[in-house]
Every structure is written in structure tokens, then in C-alpha cells.
């Protein structure tokens, strides 16, 4: 099948979105597009179902989002992700599939998948897309910041590598023995306005304003000390220039000091660049301090070296109370080993790893965070940089869902959930016992599978009652898988999402006797 392009603009949309759909089914692709449109996106999509089509689409256009089906004839998710890794341009990748095992999900994540969506749960598409688009923008922002910092450092390095340096060699009395051309030029520009002359005393060329400092540096070098200093000198035109002065003892074959080498480096551009870099770093520090995520750094022993404002707000500690403490002291005992393991993996260079740990603040308040990190090397200084996101609400929701799931699974009443189209999407064990059907046999079937057929209008009356938006209660004779009949009392109620849209029907049934 070739490439297919569609622009969807018949609904009032506010957010443009270019989506590449890797699907062998046009209907499946359209489901995703329709969900995105309902979520407020102006979708321009292209569907591909072959490796050649995928490579062409990736080369010819930039995509905001890539949706990948897990199983395509001739193009599996793994092969698709490998192509996307080469040509994808950093667009977030969402894998849309049926049920997927943990091992498969981990494998695809390592190949570049950012999120996974169950194709039978359409309501999860838009939230997942919104999350991944935010994460992609966050990654791009971090990449831009990193690139800007690297560019600034590269510029500084280029300046230092290409700056001309002056050299003057003197004997122990200060008599000039040798110098390079730039040294003489700078003598004319910045000292007394005359070029240097060999076998003349260096002190003849030093202005009175700098004489005392120069003599101190010269004397310290004669005593065997390497003296490094900086000075601002104003040229004849009134412009200020910064120079780094180095007084270096020169030793002969007998290790006795036989002279002094004066090297002078124009660091004016470096000073200006340093000021700009400091301003950039201050802005970056400001951005970090205003971030809502918890950001902190650790030294090679696992002690805190810096924190942003969000860390202090979350824990209740002041910066000085956190800096110098071991990070494992800030997590609850149950999470200490997990935090220690994550930190060690990051120190060893594993930047793709993360961990969910529970931390305890100064006032005893606990919160769950997801922590990621990477190693940062600055000269001989090695630190680990960490970003932690508050996932307390998510963990609570997961716990609530787990409790609800356990309650439903263990309920004595038969519970059945259908989608708005009337197809069964869930049954609990009590329903399996009552009907004699397994979940696999019931999923995707209409509830009418269980009717005994004696009342042809029963389903029509039921549909009419539910269409009014209320619940339906009644008694019905059903037929089990083995053909036996049984009478049940049934209560069916509609379920809507926060926007009022119908998403499911839930039915509870119990034997009347």
C-alpha cells in the first residue's frame, strides 16, 4: 500500500499536529486521528505500512508525533523503531497495541519507544500524546540549553587557543636578552610607547604606575616562585585591556636561577566572554531555581552539593540544611537501597535509568518522586545532576485503582463492563462462574450472548432505557454456556468521563434465589 495523506480541518481546532501513522489498517489509523481531533488537535497525518514508505516519510517531512502499530506484515515495531532512530528527528514515538508483556515493552523502550497505548482503550490516546509532546518539548529545551552552553564553552576555548602571547627573557638583573614580535608591539601600545630593545633593562619600559607591582613579581620569581597575576591596562586611546602576567624562573643546567621569563597574555576577550558566560550561568541557575521539578546535584560520595527552590519547598528544608547531607538520608528506609543503586548506576554512566522513591521532608510529610540523572564532569570536578518529578498523586491513583481492581475481582456479584457499542470489555471471576464462559470467550461479545431468546424485545427495551441516561434494573433469564437457564436480577448503569462523554456500561447481576 502506498503513502496516504489527509488533512482534517472540519472541526474548530486550536493546536496543529503532524502525525506519522505506522499502521496496516486505515480504520485503526483513523481511530487515532479522530481521538486526536476530539482532543483539540488540528491533525495532518500520513499513514505508512512498509519500511520503504516509512523511510521516505521520515526523510521528506518533520513529524511532531509518530504512532506505531506493534504488529505489521513485513514491518514489526522493532524494525520501525530502528528506522525512526536513524531518521526520526527526535519526534516522540507511541506504540499502539493490544496487550503487551513487560519484556516486550522494555525491549521497545530501549529502541526509542516513549509510551505505550492499549488500542482498546481509546480514552488513553490524547492524555498520552499530550504527555509525550510535553516531554519532547522538555527534551528539546534541555538540548537547546546544552547546545548553547557547549557553544559558549567552544567559543571560549577557541579564543584561548588562538590568543597571541608575548614572551620576554631577562637575566637576573632584568636585562632583556630576547623577546618576540608581539611583545615589542604591545610595549609600544600599552607601556611607554617605544619598542623593546635587547640588552636594555626591562624597568626602562615599565610605566611608573606599574613599576612597584612589576618589581614585586620579578623579585618573587628570582626567589623561585612562579607568579601569576592579572592587570588592567589602558591604551593611548583610553580603552581598557586585561592581561595575564606570568613571571617564571628560568633554571640552568646546575638548577640555579639564571633568568626570568615574562609571558603576557591578552585576556580581554576572555574576560568579556567570562562575564557573558557568568550571565548565562546565572540565567540558567534562575531557570533551574524556578523549575517545578526537584533539581539537585551530588558529589562522588553521594552528598548533596546544590538544590533548587522546588527541593526546599517539597522537603521543608533550607538549602544549608540539605547541602552536605547524604541523599539516602532524605529518602524513607524502604527506598534507600533503590536510591543508592540508581545513584551508583548514574555514576557509572547509565543516563537512561530512573527510579521511583519515597522521600520524607522535615515536617514528616512524604512524597513520591521519579528521579533521573546523569554524570557531569567539569575539569577535575565530577558531580551527578538529578531531576525528580513529584508522582505522589499518580502513586495514590495507582493504589486506589489497585484496591478497586481487587474489590471488583473478589466481589461475589457478577460484574460486566461493556463499551458504548455494547461489546464486553471486562468480566470478573464471579461472572465467569455464573455464566460458565471464560473471559477470553466473553470479551468482544454482546451481552445478548447470555439471553435465553424467549423475549426478543428485551434488548430493545434495555437499549431504550439506557439511552435516556439513567440506570436500568430488571430481572432476566439467562442461558449459561452449558445450556442451563438461571434467573438473575440485573442493574446496569452508564459510566461517563469528566467531560460527560459516555465511555462504558457497568452491569451487576446476582441470582434471584
- Same domain for 13 and 86, yes or no, is yes
Position of cell 601569576?
228
Residue 117 lies in a domain: yes
Label residue 72 by pLDDT band (50, 70, 90): low
- pLDDT for the residue numbered 7: 43
User: What is the extent of the structural domain holding 42?
Assistant: 4-139
Is the model's pLDDT at 297 over the cut of 60? yes
- pLDDT for the residue numbered 451: 84
Residue 257 lies in a domain: yes
Label residue 348 by pLDDT band (50, 70, 90): confident
Instruction: Count the helices and strands in the chain (H runs, E runs).
Output: 15, 21
- Same domain for 97 and 58, yes or no, is yes
* H or E element, residue 304: strand 304-307
* CATH number of the CATH domain containing 422: 3.30.450.20
* H or E element, residue 375: strand 366-378
- Same domain for 305 and 254, yes or no, is no
Give me the mean pLDDT over the 484-493 stretch: 91
Is the model's pLDDT at 488 over the cut of 80? yes
- Same domain for 202 and 131, yes or no, is no
CB-neighbour burial class of residue 409 (10 A; exposed 0-12, middle 13-18, buried 19+): exposed
* Cα 444 from Cα 427, distance rounded (Å): 11
Q: Kindly tell me the sign of the dihedral angle through the C-alpha atoms of 225, 226, 229, 233.
A: positive
- Name the DSSP class of 349: T
Residue 340 lies in a domain: yes
234-251 pLDDT, tens digit each: 776 777 788 888 999 999
Residue 22 lies in a domain: yes
- Same domain for 391 and 487, yes or no, is no
- Same domain for 89 and 113, yes or no, is yes
Label residue 88 by pLDDT band (50, 70, 90): low
Question: Which of 395, 422, 443 is at the close of a domain?
Answer: 395
- pLDDT for the residue numbered 206: 85
Task: Assess contact for 177 and 188: CB atoms under 8 A.
Answer: no
174-188 pLDDT, tens digit each: 999 888 888 877 776
The SS3 call for residue 4 is strand
Question: Torsions phi, psi of 269, nearest 5?
Answer: -65, -35
Residue 92 lies in a domain: yes
Question: Torsions phi, psi of 12, nearest 5?
Answer: -65, 115
Residue 379 lies in a domain: yes
Q: Which of 18, 13, 39, 144 is nearest to 91 (CA)?
A: 18
Q: Per the structure block, which three cell numbers stand in for 157?
A: 576555548
Question: Which of 335, 365, 395 is at the close of a domain?
Answer: 395
- Same domain for 384 and 416, yes or no, is no
Task: Assess contact for 298 and 343: CB atoms under 8 A.
Answer: yes
Give me the mean pLDDT over the 25-34 stretch: 85
Is the model's pLDDT at 99 over the cut of 80? no
- pLDDT for the residue numbered 49: 83
Residue 25 lies in a domain: yes
* Cα 47 from Cα 113, distance rounded (Å): 18
* Cα 24 from Cα 99, distance rounded (Å): 18
End-to-end CA distance of the chain: 58
- Same domain for 376 and 480, yes or no, is no
* Cα 433 from Cα 416, distance rounded (Å): 12
Is the model's pLDDT at 9 over the cut of 50? no
- Same domain for 299 and 351, yes or no, is yes
- Same domain for 261 and 304, yes or no, is no
Burial 208-242 (b: 16+ CB within 10 A, else e): eeeeeebeebbeebbeeeebeeeeebeeeeeeebb
Question: Torsions phi, psi of 300, nearest 5?
Answer: -60, -15
Q: What is the total count of domains within the chain?
A: 4
In angstroms, what CA-CA distances link 14 with 38, 251, 485?
Answer: 11, 76, 55
- pLDDT for the residue numbered 426: 94
- Same domain for 415 and 384, yes or no, is no
In the sheet with 381-390, reading across from the earlier edge strand, the strands are 304-307, 294-298, 381-390, 366-378, 354-360
The radius of gyration of the chain's CA atoms, rounded to the nearest angstrom, is: 36
Residue 276 lies in a domain: no
* CATH number of the CATH domain containing 48: 3.40.50.2300
Is the model's pLDDT at 54 over the cut of 80? yes
Question: Which of 395, 428, 444 is at the close of a domain?
Answer: 395
102-128 pLDDT, tens digit each: 777 777 778 777 778 777 777 778 888
- Same domain for 89 and 29, yes or no, is yes
Amino acid at each position: 500500500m502506498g503513502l496516504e495523506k489527509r488533512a482534517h480541518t472540519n472541526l474548530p481546532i486550536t493546536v496543529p499536529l503532524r502525525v506519522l501513522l505506522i499502521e496496516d489498517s486505515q480504520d485503526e489509523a483513523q481511530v487515532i486521528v479522530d481521538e486526536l481531533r476530539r482532543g483539540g488537535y488540528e491533525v495532518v497525518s500520513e499513514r505508512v505500512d512498509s519500511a520503504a514508505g516509512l523511510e521516505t516519510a521520515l526523510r521528506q517531512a518533520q513529524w511532531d508525533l509518530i504512532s506505531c502499530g506493534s504488529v505489521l506484515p513485513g514491518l514489526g515495531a522493532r524494525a520501525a523503531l530502528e528506522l525512526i532512530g536513524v531518521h526520526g528527528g527526535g519526534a516522540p514515538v507511541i506504540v499502539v497495541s493490544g496487550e503487551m508483556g513487560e519484556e516486550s515493552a522494555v525491549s521497545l523502550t530501549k529502541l526509542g519507544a516513549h509510551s505505550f497505548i492499549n488500542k482498546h482503550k481509546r480514552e488513553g490516546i490524547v492524555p498520552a500524546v499530550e504527555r509525550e509532546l510535553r516531554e519532547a518539548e522538555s527534551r528539546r529545551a534541555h538540548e537547546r540549553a546544552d547546545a548553547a552552553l557547549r557553544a559558549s564553552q567552544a567559543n571560549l576555548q577557541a579564543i584561548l587557543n588562538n590568543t597571541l602571547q608575548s614572551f620576554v627573557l631577562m637575566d637576573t638583573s632584568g636585562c632583556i636578552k630576547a623577546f618576540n614580535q608581539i611583545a615589542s608591539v604591545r610595549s609600544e601600545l600599552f607601556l611607554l610607547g617605544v619598542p623593546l630593545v635587547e640588552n636594555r633593562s626591562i624597568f626602562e619600559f615599565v610605566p611608573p604606575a606599574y613599576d612597584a607591582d612589576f618589581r614585586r613579581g620579578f623579585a618573587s620569581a628570582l626567589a623561585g616562585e612562579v607568579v601569576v597575576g592579572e592587570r588592567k591596562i589602558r591604551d593611548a586611546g583610553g580603552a581598557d585591556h586585561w592581561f595575564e602576567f606570568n613571571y617564571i624562573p628560568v633554571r640552568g643546567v646546575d638548577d640555579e636561577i639564571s633568568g626570568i621569563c615574562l609571558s603576557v597574555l591578552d585576556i580581554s576577550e576572555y574576560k568579556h566572554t567570562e562575564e557573558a558566560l557568568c550571565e548565562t550561568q546565572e540565567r540558567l541557575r534562575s531557570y533551574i531555581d524556578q523549575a517545578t521539578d526537584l533539581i539537585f546535584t551530588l558529589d562522588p560520595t553521594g552528598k548533596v552539593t546544590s538544590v533548587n527552590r522546588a527541593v526546599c519547598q517539597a522537603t521543608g528544608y533550607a538549602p544549608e540544611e540539605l547541602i552536605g547531607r547524604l541523599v539516602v538520608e532524605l529518602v524513607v528506609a524502604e527506598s534507600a537501597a533503590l536510591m543508592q543503586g540508581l545513584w551508583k548506576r548514574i555514576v557509572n554512566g547509565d543516563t537512561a535509568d530512573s527510579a521511583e522513591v519515597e522521600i520524607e521532608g522535615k515536617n514528616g510529610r512524604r512524597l513520591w518522586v521519579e528521579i533521573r540523572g546523569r554524570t557531569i564532569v567539569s575539569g577535575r570536578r565530577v558531580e551527578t545532576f538529578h531531576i525528580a518529578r513529584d508522582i505522589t498523586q499518580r502513586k495514590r491513583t495507582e493504589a486506589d485503582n489497585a484496591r478497586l481492581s481487587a474489590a471488583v475481582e473478589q466481589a461475589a456479584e457478577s460484574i460486566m463492563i461493556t463499551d458504548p457499542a455494547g461489546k464486553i470489555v471486562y468480566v470478573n471471576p464471579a461472572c465467569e462462574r455464573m455464566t460458565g464462559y471464560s473471559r477470553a470467550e466473553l470479551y468482544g461479545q454482546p451481552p445478548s450472548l447470555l439471553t435465553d431468546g424467549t423475549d426478543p424485545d428485551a434488548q430493545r427495551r434495555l437499549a431504550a432505557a439506557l439511552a435516556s441516561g439513567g440506570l436500568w434494573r430488571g430481572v432476566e433469564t439467562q442461558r449459561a454456556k452449558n445450556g442451563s437457564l438461571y434467573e438473575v436480577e440485573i442493574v446496569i448503569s452508564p459510566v461517563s468521563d469528566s467531560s460527560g462523554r459516555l465511555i462504558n456500561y457497568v452491569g451487576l447481576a446476582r441470582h434471584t434465589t
